[in-house]
Amino acid sequence: MLLRIAKFAIALAVVVGLAHTIRSAAGELAEHRDRIRGEIADLDQQLESATDPAARADLQAKRERWVSQQPRLAAIDWWRVAAAAAVYLASLFPAALFFHQVLRHMKQHPRLGDAVRAHILGHMGKYVPGKAMVVVLRTGAIAGPNVRAGVAVVAAFIETLLMMAVGGTVAGVFVVCLRMPTGITLLAIGLAACAAVPTLPSLFRFVVRKISESRFGSDKGLDDAGIDWRLIGCGWGWMLLMWTAIGWSFALLIQATPGAMVDAFTWQDYMLATAAIALAMVAGFISLLPGGAGVRELVLSTLLAPRFGLVPALVAAILARLVFLAVEVGIGGLLWTTRGRTTPGDRSRCDTEDLPTG
């Protein structure tokens, strides 16, 4: 009975978090739409009083730019949105495969499908304050006779830290290559250094031992010998693939946004899109806010506005939040409804041992 209550509470927290994220994104979109309408109204008043032909032409051009930037559904390139969703869906799997690899290196024996399912289900926990729900969902989905819950918690921690480390590094390298303003460049370099250094195997093993001693007891015998250069190197490879796909997905969303002032999307634009979304997601993770609400939009608008315009940058940021959320909820719901069923005996160990409490 207590287990059922706990599962219901977890599901309720996820649903509330998702609803809050959707409402927040919708509110921000409405705010930007109202701002554009206000700018258009001001220009209309100026046009009524303007008599100089050159001034009227300039005002009319400004009005047309604002009109083109209105976040209207009909103005969005939905084919590119669909392509972005497909690419983002593909980006979920490299990290899931690494999660399975970490568990195997720590002498657990999960099935590949179970590990991928657990990892993807965990994405829905991002929309609950504190981010602990990610670990709870992944651990609850994978723990059982072949995977100890305590080891699953450590594996989830390793995968998440490495994902953020690689994301911060990618953002830092691309920002330096793009020669962005000094403040942003120094921030990106500092973030990359702070994110990459803890991925050294010796530091990872130290953290794993501390987690084992503080949360699960030193007698649990979590084997950290598998956290070596080979595992971390493979993790960097998987995560680079993941961030490449996420950057591509976000680049497609920028191109789908009405009013983005770009004639041809170049490799520099792709690097900018990747750096922006990576930096935004890492900053959102550090903030501990549900889904990085507000933080992502601030980072993305700051980096993208000089190139694509402020309003298109904000709309692209909100569109990315909604598309990524839709993909995660869609695939998560599908995996939840098609999850394999186990007998009570199979789950007894999972239900009574080492489950994380957040």
Q: What is the tens place of the pLDDT at every residue in 128-186?
A: 765 678 888 888 889 888 998 888 888 888 898 899 889 988 988 898 888 887 877 88
Helix then strand then coil, % of the chain, to nearest 5: 80, 0, 20
Other C-beta atoms lying within 10 Å of the C-beta of residue 144: 19
Phi/psi of residue 355, each to 5°?
A: -65, 135
**What distance in Å separates the CA atoms of residue 203 and residue 226, rounded to the nearest whole number?**
13
pLDDT of residue 337: 78
pLDDT of residue 307: 83
The Cα angle at residue 188 between residues 184 and 191, in degrees rounded to 5? 140
User: Does residue 14 carry a pLDDT above 70?
Assistant: no
The tokens 């909100």 sit on which residue?
A: 318
pLDDT digits (tens, 9 = 90+) for 178-214: 888 787 788 778 877 777 777 788 887 777 677 666 6
**What distance in Å separates the CA atoms of residue 97 and residue 142, rounded to the nearest whole number?**
13
How many alpha carbons fall within 13 Å on the CB side of residue 25? 23
**What distance in Å separates the CA atoms of residue 323 and residue 305, rounded to the nearest whole number?**
20
